[in-house]
Amino acid sequence: MSADCVLQTKALTKRFRQVTALDRLNLELHAGEVLALLGSNGSGKSTTFRLLLNIYQPTDGEAFLLGQPSRKLNGRDFDKVSYVSEGQKLPLWMTVRGFLDFCAGFYQEWDAGMCQRLVESFGLHEGQKLKFLSRGQRMKAALASVLPSRPKILLLDEPFSGLDVETRAQVSHLLRTLAQEHSLAIVLTTHDVEEVEPVATRVAILSRGELKLDEPLANYLGRHRLLQLEGASLESLPEELRALFRPMPNTPPPGWYFTDRNEPALQERLQASMSEGARASLLPMNLRQILTAHSLPVV
Amino acid sequence: MKTLLHILKKDLRRYAWAWGVLAVCAVARVYLDGTTAGMLDNDFNQFLSFVTSIIGSILGFVLVVMVVQEESLSDPDAYWITRPVNRLHLLFSKLVFLVLVVILPQVLADSLVLVLNDGSGRVGFALAGIFPALAIWQSQVFLAAQTRSLPRYLLLVVCLVVGFYIVLFALAFLGTSILGDIYDIDMGVLPADTPSWVTELVQTVLWLAGGFGILAFYYLRRKRLLAWLCLLPLVLASAILTTGGSSSGFLPGFDMNFESDVEIISVRESGTRFTPEGEFVTYEAEIQVPQVESGQDVWVQVNYMELASAGASFHIEGNYRSQLLNSASLRGDTYQLRLGSLKKADAEKLGDAINISGGLEISLSSQQPLATLPLKEGASLTVNGKRLVIGSYYRDEGNLVLELAAIIPNSSFEAEQLSDPAEAFLGQFSFALKDKQSGQLQIGELGGGYDFGMSANKITGQAQFKLAPDESVDAYELQVFTRVVDGRDWVFVDADKVPLQKQTR
């Protein structure tokens, strides 16, 4: 494990009776990285978080946070490990200010200035009780209750859920800044894949408890391209090029193909194989298109 | 420590209203039990007593559950679970809250009641009541910590109670062949003459330390099954650390420390009573109680009695009053016992020898004069933390009946005389009607009991004396005795061909 590795799992497994919720998960995360952990409902994302945070005990394998086995994570360890989830049960009888002050009392380090800035930028009313806040506002309050503690690793379960477009962009920007400027490592799960691209540096995909992908996001986006053919068909391409492309599922009009093996010379090779008047273009794909292309049940 | 105070302050602020209500209940308790106010028939005081006792007990119970569930251990989505909160400090903060808000007001109220009732010397024992109370309340914390809401907690409690009875019945019916009668299993290792306060101290320390250990384990590890399994050695240790030779085996029960061998020698018709229902014949029996020591009084309560002869049997209803028996012979072990009465028509059907069977409660005790009280409503005395008040009196068929109320605190770890909830005034008072001129005493029958006063609560009862309708109450006063019960037993008597001496008509 390298010096800046803040999170590591080794064959981490969790079974609930007959159901394997997580199957031999191997992950590593370094300071400053933002990992988007994607997967459909029940794929094991929340279970992974709970195992990392010592809420659940693994059936097999192990996990480490900040070099500490997650099984021993307790008390003071959470000074530098923070977690916010969509369904987090907040003390709804408290006011926003009361809640933030109460949480501040637990941490050894607390940036009151940052807390105040977050409250103001999130547009939270300090005197309002949490029970009167919308889901999105509660998420903002929850974020404001952990970020001022300057954690080294932040686990976010559906942080964009219930947030309006403006606040999503705000939160994305904030997370990116914290990761880049303060070397904060972040793991986030979301179904809002549009929010992943601006903030994530890596993407991992879980399906039925198995890790299907773990790759730097730029790499993942870079090796996927959409093929647009004008005056030609896929069948007219040479065999070795044709094998690189697959049709886009469920995407009208037909005649759209994609590849996950893009390379710098591919555009030239394609154009060279075209007959006169025909044109092949390789277009960049966003994450949503890629996941759709692979029929990954994430979005 | 910082975390402990941080959470405690939050809980105290959150439940300030409940703390206030419980404090008011405690103050009301001092007012009701520390003065004669709560012991006299008064609508306001009765309402206050009812409301504060109901609110106090329910609110205390609900409050503990809610406070523990504020930082639920069983909810993986609880906001605090991934905060830098030391779990042991969290547990301590909940226990301190429990002591400060639920237990301490009650204990302070008990202490103040003792002071107001001339029992200052017993205040230390009342304050020590914090420890057994905490040991008991820890079980609430344990159950509450495993549930997320009050309904779930109640469901768990119901399941546990039902499960407990299923196990108990299974043991009683199925386990008998393997274990024998579980009521006969005697696991206690403490000497039989160990004072009850020592046993209570040992049990309190055991449950306080063991209970806290299990709670701490659960808070740190959240392994529910293991925590429950840890209870087994604790229960076993608790059963072992009791006195040996207990008649109730390892199951809880009232220890009848005296086994009497009562025999009915003869029965006689003692008189006639006229009531609106007709003419009744009263009966007395001569009974033998061999185990009585010199100086001991024998008190008997007739619960029921059946007289039978020549195929006919008649049922005498007991009056549920204890009577002090008069010695009937020079040997001193036979006594006259008033059985009750039968309709004259039934009485005439009985022959000269009858079969008699019935149930008696018998107790051996001694008594010492304490004080005299004027026979008027509201007259009271206080002694060593106890308070006794004459509530009212009335006359009935040649009897004078006094309605009495008493506060008899029962603090932990006190070396006190045997008290039994089945005895009137927990067996701690007896009364005589004293002729002001001659000083002659007539010991009264005692009624009441089964009040289950666990601490300073009102206990009511009656004392009944013979007083002819033409005699004035003003010629008498009430002599109060402190009574010490040495032993009790429930007896079933069954004798055939007992001679019946009929009165000459």
Q: How far is A296 from chain B (nearest CA, A)?
A: 28
The amino acid at residue A201 is T
CB contact under 8 A, A50 and B82: no
Question: Does A81 sit within 8 Å of B86, measured CB to CB?
Answer: no
Q: Which residues of A touch B (CB under 8 A)?
A: 50, 53, 55-56, 74-79, 81-83, 85, 87-91, 93, 102-103, 105-108, 142, 145
CB-closest option in B76, B79, B86 to A91: B79
- Span B458-471, mean pLDDT? 89
Q: Out of A77, A87, A93, whose CB is closest to B77?
A: A87
Q: Which residues of A127-150 are buried (b: 16+ CB within 10 A; e: fewer)?
A: eeebeebeebbbbbbbbbbbbbbb
pLDDT of residue B504: 67
The full length of chain B comes to 505
Per-residue confidence band for B251, with pLDDT thresholds at 50, 70 and 90? very low
B-chain residue closest to A71, CA distance: B221
CB contact under 8 A, A78 and B76: no
With a cut of 60, say whether residue B455 has pLDDT above it: no
**Averaged pLDDT, B130-149:** 94
- pLDDT value at residue B229: 95
Tell me which of A228-232, B314-318, B331-335 is least confident.
Answer: B331-335
B82 and A106: CB-CB below 8 Å? Answer: no
Instruction: Say yes or no to pLDDT of A167 above 60.
Output: yes
Q: How far is B90 from chain A (nearest CA, A)?
A: 10
Element housing B501 (H / E): strand B476-501
Question: Which residue of chain A is at minimal alpha-carbon distance from B87?
Answer: A75
The closest of A296, A283, A298 to A195, measured between CA atoms, is A298
pLDDT of residue B456: 46
**In which band, very low, low, confident or very high, does the pLDDT at B258 lie, cut at 50, 70 and 90?**
low
Of B72, B82, B84, the CB nearest to A76: B84
pLDDT, tens digit, for every residue of A223-238?
A: 999 998 888 888 888 8
* Res B352: pLDDT: 87
The whole-number average pLDDT for the span B13-42 is 89
B491, B364 contact by CB (below 8 A): no
The whole-number pLDDT of residue B416 equals: 61
**Shortest Cα distance, chain B CAs vs residue A90, angstroms:** 5
Confidence class for position A168, pLDDT limits 50, 70, 90 = confident
Q: Judge: B79–A88 Cβ closer than 8 Å, yes or no.
A: yes
For B285, list phi and psi in degrees, rounded to 5: -120, 150
Facing A103 at nearest CB: one of B75, B81, B83: B83
Q: Which residues of B touch A76 (CB under 8 A)?
A: 84, 86
Enter the DSSP assignment of A204: E
Long-range contacts at A196-200 (CB < 8 A, ≥ 24 apart)? A196/A36, A196/A38, A196/A287, A197/A221, A197/A286, A197/A287, A198/A169, A198/A172, A198/A173, A199/A34, A199/A36, A199/A172, A199/A175, A200/A34, A200/A35, A200/A36
Quick one: closest CA in A to B4, which residue?
Answer: A106
Out of B150-164, B245-259, B402-416, which region has the weakest mean confidence (pLDDT)? B245-259
The larger pLDDT score, comparing residue B68 to residue A87, is at B68
Confidence at B254, pLDDT banded by 50, 70, 90: very low
Contact B387, B409 (CB under 8 A): no
pLDDT value for B328: 67
Q: A60 phi and psi, to 5 degrees?
A: -155, 165
pLDDT (0 to 100) of residue B453: 40
- Tell me the average pLDDT across B382-407: 90
Nearest to A89 among B2, B10, B75 (CB): B75
Across chain A, which distance is largest between two alpha carbons, in Å?
72
Q: Give the nearest chain B residue to A94 (CA atoms).
A: B14
Q: In which band, very low, low, confident or very high, does the pLDDT at B49 lie, cut at 50, 70 and 90?
A: confident
Is the confidence at residue B304, as pLDDT, over 90? no
B23 band by pLDDT with thresholds 50, 70 and 90? very high
Position A82 confidence tier, pLDDT thresholds 50, 70, 90: very high
Smallest CA–CA distance, residue A13 to chain B, in Å, is: 18
CB contact under 8 A, B82 and A53: yes
Residue B335, burial from CB neighbour count under 10 angstroms (0-12, 13-18, 19+): buried
The reported pLDDT for the residue numbered A228 is 87
According to the model, what pLDDT value does residue B257 have? Answer: 56
Dmax of chain B from CA atoms? 92
Residue range A101-124: mean pLDDT, rounded? 94
Overall average pLDDT of the B306-319 stretch: 83
pLDDT at B437: 92
- How does DSSP classify residue B37? G
Residue B175, pLDDT > 50, answer: yes
Closest residue in A to B1 (Cα) is A106
Q: Are B495 and B475 in contact (CB under 8 A)?
A: no
pLDDT, position B250: 39
Give B333's pLDDT tier (boundaries 50, 70, 90).
Answer: confident
Question: Closest-CA residue in chain B for A108?
Answer: B84
Q: What percent of chain A is modeled with pLDDT above 70?
A: 96
Q: CB contacts < 8 Å between A and B, how many?
A: 55
ipTM over cut 0.90: no
* Ramachandran category for residue A67: left, alpha or beta (phi over 0 → left; psi -120 to 50 → alpha): left
The model's confidence at residue B454, banded by pLDDT at 50, 70 and 90, is very low
Q: A62 falls in which pLDDT band (50, 70, 90)?
A: very high
Q: How far is it, in rounded angstroms, from Cα A108 to Cα A90?
A: 21
Nearest residue on chain B to A98, judged by CA atoms? Answer: B10
Provide, as residue numbers in chain B, all residues whose Cβ is less than 8 Å from the Cβ of A106.
Answer: 3, 6, 83-85
Instruction: Name the residue facing A75 among B2, B70, B87 (closest C-beta).
Output: B87
CA angle B262, B267, B272 (to 5 degrees): 130
Output the CA torsion B379→B382→B385→B391 (10° steps).
-10
Which of B66, B83, B93 is the best substitution to test chain A (most A C-beta atoms within 10 A)?
A: B83
And the tokens for B180? 């024998």
For residues B48 and B331, the model is more confident at B48
B153 vs B352, more confident: B153
